[in-house]
Amino acid sequence: MSLRRRFADREDLLGIAMLAPVLLLVGVPVVLAIVLSFSTATAGSLSFGWAGFANYAAILTDPIFRRALANTVIVTIGSQLLVVVLATAAAQVFRAAFHGKRTARFVLLLPWAVPVSLAAIAWTWIFDSTFSVINWTLKVTGLLHGWLYWLGEPRLALVAITIVQAWRIFPFATVIVLAGLASLPQDVMEAAIVDGAGFWRRLFYVELPLLLPVVAVAVLFGVVYTATDLGVVYILTGGGPANTTHVLPTLAFQRGIQGADLGQGAAIAVFLLPFLIVVAIAMLRLARHTEVGST
Amino acid sequence: MKRVALYAAALGFMAFAGFPFYWMLITAFKQNRDLYVGAFDTRHVPWIFNDPPTLEHVRLLFGQTDFLRWIANTLIVVVAVVVITVAVAVPAGYSLARLTGRWGERLGMGIFFTYLIPPTLLFIPFARLVALLGLQNSLGALILIYPTITIPFCTWLVMGFLRSVPWDIEEQAMIDGYSRLAVIVKVVPRLIIPGILTVVVFSFTLVLQEFVYALTFISSVDRMTVSLGVPIALVRGDVYHWGALMAAALFTSIPLAIVYNLFIDRFIQGFTLGAVKG
Amino acid sequence: MAKRKGMDRRQFVTTTGAAAAAAVLGPTIWVKQQQKTLKIIQWSHFVPAYDAWFDKYAKDWGTAKGVDVTVDHISLADLTTRANAEVAAQQGHDLFQFLSPPGAFEPQVLDMADVVKEAERQHGPLVDLCKRSTYNPVTRKWFGFTDNYVPDPGDYLKSIWTEIGKPDGPATWEDLVTAGPQIKAKHPEIQIPIGIGMAQELDTNMATRAMLWSHDGSIQDANENVVLKSDHALEALNFAKRLYEAGMNAAVLSWNAASNNQALNARQTSYILNSISAYRTAQDNKLPVADDIFFVPALKGPRGTGWASEHVMGIYAIWKFAQSPDVAKQFLLDLVAHYRDAVTASKFYNFPSYPGSVADPGTAQGQKPAAGQRWLEQATANDPFGSNPPTKLKPISTALQWATNIGHPGPANPAESEVFDTFVLPTMFANAATGRMTPAQALDDAHQQVKRIFEKWRAKGLVAGGAGDRA
Q: CB within 8 A of C135, min separation 6: which ones? A: C141, C142, C143, C411
Chains touching B (at least 3 CB pairs under 8 A) are A, C
Query: Cα–Cα distances in Å, from C461 out to C94, C142, C204, C470?
Result: 26, 15, 30, 20
Residue C8 and residue B147: Cα distance in Å, rounded?
39
Question: For chain B, what is the domain count?
Answer: 1
In chain B, what residues touch A43 (CB-CB under 8 Å)? 124
Residue B228 has φ and ψ, to the nearest 5°, of -90, -50
Rounded mean pLDDT, A198-223: 77
Q: In tens digits, what is the pLDDT along chain C, a chain of 471 residues?
A: 334 443 444 444 444 444 444 444 434 444 444 578 999 999 988 888 899 999 999 999 999 999 999 999 888 878 888 888 888 778 889 999 999 888 889 989 999 999 999 999 999 999 999 999 999 999 999 999 999 999 999 999 999 999 999 999 999 999 999 999 999 999 988 989 999 999 988 999 999 999 999 999 999 999 999 999 999 999 999 999 999 999 998 889 888 888 999 999 999 999 999 999 999 989 988 889 999 999 999 999 999 999 999 999 999 999 999 999 999 999 999 999 999 999 999 999 999 999 999 999 888 888 999 999 999 999 999 999 989 899 999 999 999 999 999 999 999 998 998 899 889 999 999 999 999 999 999 999 999 999 999 998 898 888 999 888 988
Asked if residues A18 and B92 have their Cβ atoms less than 8 Å apart, the reply is yes
For residue A155, the one-letter residue type is: R
Between CA B239 and CA A240, with CA A146 as vertex, the angle to 5 degrees is 45
Asked if residues C402 and C395 have their Cβ atoms less than 8 Å apart, the reply is no
Domains C36-150+311-381 and C154-309+409-459 share a fold: yes
CATH number of C154-309+409-459: 3.40.190.10
Contact at CB, A258 and C192, closer than 8 angstroms: no
| Sequence-ordered alpha helix ranges (H) in A38-153 | 54-60, 63-95, 101-113, 116-126, 133-140
In chain A, what residues touch C434 (CB-CB under 8 Å)? 241-242
Of B18 and A231, more confident: B18
Domain ranges of chain C: 36-150+311-381, 154-309+409-459
Residue A139 has φ and ψ, to the nearest 5°, of -65, -45
In the sheet that C312-318 helps form, which strands lie side by side, from edge to edge?
C67-74, C36-43, C95-98, C312-318, C145-150, C351-352
Rounded mean pLDDT, B22-51: 87
Output DSSP code: residue B270. Answer: H
For residue B18, the one-letter residue type is: G
Q: Are strands C192-195 and C269-273 parallel, antiparallel or unpaired?
A: parallel
ipTM tops 0.85: no
Residue C62 has φ and ψ, to the nearest 5°, of -60, -45
Residue B52 and residue B33: Cα distance in Å, rounded?
11
Residue C25: how many CB atoms within 10 A of its CB? 11
For residue A265, the one-letter residue type is: G
Is the pTM higher than 0.90? no
Between CA A98 and CA A104, with CA A103 as vertex, the angle to 5 degrees is 65
Of B10 and B39, more confident: B10
Span of A200-209, B95-104, C97-106 with lowest mean pLDDT: B95-104
Rounded mean pLDDT, B125-141: 80
Asked if residues C389 and C431 have their Cβ atoms less than 8 Å apart, the reply is no
Residue A38 and residue A266: Cα distance in Å, rounded?
8
B-contacting residues in C 121-150 (Cβ below 8 Å): none
Whichever domain contains B169, its CATH number is 1.10.3720.10
State residue C13's pLDDT score: 43
Q: Is A242 left (phi over 0), alpha (psi -120 to 50) or beta?
A: left
In chain B, what residues touch C184 (CB-CB under 8 Å)? none
Residue C233 and residue C211: Cα distance in Å, rounded?
9
Number of H helices, E strands in chain B: 15, 2
Asked if residues C332 and C340 have their Cβ atoms less than 8 Å apart, the reply is no
Q: Are strands C67-74 and C403-404 parallel, antiparallel or unpaired?
A: unpaired
Residue A1 has pLDDT above 60, yes or no: no
Q: What is the largest CA-CA distance in chain A?
A: 84
Mean pLDDT of chain B: 79
Domain ranges of chain A: 57-289
pLDDT bin (cut points 50, 70, 90) of residue B153 is confident
B-contacting residues in A 2-31 (Cβ below 8 Å): 7, 10-12, 14-15, 18-19, 21-23, 25-27, 29-30
Q: CB within 8 A of B183, min separation 6: which ones? A: B170, B173, B174
Residue A1: how many CB atoms within 10 A of its CB? 5
- Touching check for C49 and chain B: CB below 8 Å? no
Contact at CB, B99 and A214, closer than 8 angstroms: no
State residue A234's pLDDT score: 87
Question: B10 vs chain C: nearest CA distance in angstroms?
Answer: 34
Does residue B5 lie within any of the structural domains?
no
In chain C, what residues touch A130 (CB-CB under 8 Å)? 191-192, 251, 259, 262-263, 266, 268
Examine residue A209 and say whether the peptide bond preceding it is cis (omega within 30 degrees of 0): no
- Touching check for A33 and chain B: CB below 8 Å? yes
Angle between helices B242-276 and A101-113 (to 10 degrees): 100
Span of A36-45, B78-87, B159-168, C213-222 with lowest mean pLDDT: B159-168
Residue B49 and residue B46: Cα distance in Å, rounded?
8
Mean pLDDT of chain A: 80
Span of A249-253, B18-22, B199-203, C41-45 with lowest mean pLDDT: B199-203
Residue B270 has pLDDT above 60, yes or no: no
Output DSSP code: residue C365. Answer: G
C36-150+311-381: CATH, from 3.40.190.10, 3.40.50.2300, 3.90.75.20, 3.20.20.370: 3.40.190.10
Contact at CB, B121 and A30, closer than 8 angstroms: no
State residue B272's pLDDT score: 52
Residue C274 and residue C191: Cα distance in Å, rounded?
19
Residue A26 bridge partners (DSSP)? none
Report residue C443 CA to chain centroid gap.
26
Residue C149 bridge partners (DSSP)? C313, C351
Contact at CB, B127 and C286, closer than 8 angstroms: no
A57-289: CATH, from 3.80.30.20, 1.10.3720.10, 1.20.120.430, 3.10.640.10: 1.10.3720.10
Residue A5 has pLDDT above 50, yes or no: no
Residue C317 has φ and ψ, to the nearest 5°, of -115, 150
Asked if residues C211 and C266 have their Cβ atoms less than 8 Å apart, the reply is no
State residue C28's pLDDT score: 40
A-contacting residues in B 145-204 (Cβ below 8 Å): 147-148, 151-152, 155, 174, 179-181, 184
Residue C336 and residue C355: Cα distance in Å, rounded?
10
Asked if residues B223 and B139 have their Cβ atoms less than 8 Å apart, the reply is yes
Give the DSSP letter string of C114-137. Answer: HHHHHHHHHH-PPPHHHHHHHEET
- Touching check for B212 and chain A: CB below 8 Å? yes
Output DSSP code: residue C319. Answer: B
Residue C209 and residue C299: Cα distance in Å, rounded?
12
SS3 content of chain A, % helix, strand, coil (to 5): 75, 0, 25
Residue C409 and residue A106: Cα distance in Å, rounded?
59
State residue C325's pLDDT score: 94
Contact at CB, C254 and A237, closer than 8 angstroms: yes
Contact at CB, A237 and C107, closer than 8 angstroms: no
Q: CB within 8 A of A85, min separation 6: which ones? A: none
Output DSSP code: residue C292. Answer: G
Contact at CB, A272 and B276, closer than 8 angstroms: no
- The DSSP element (H or E) to which C149 belongs, if any, is strand C145-150
Query: Cα–Cα distances in Å, from B57 out to B37, B234, B255?
Result: 18, 10, 19
Asked if residues C40 and B187 have their Cβ atoms less than 8 Å apart, the reply is no
Contact at CB, C72 and B220, closer than 8 angstroms: yes
Owning domain of residue B60: 55-276
Residue B102 has pLDDT above 70, yes or no: no
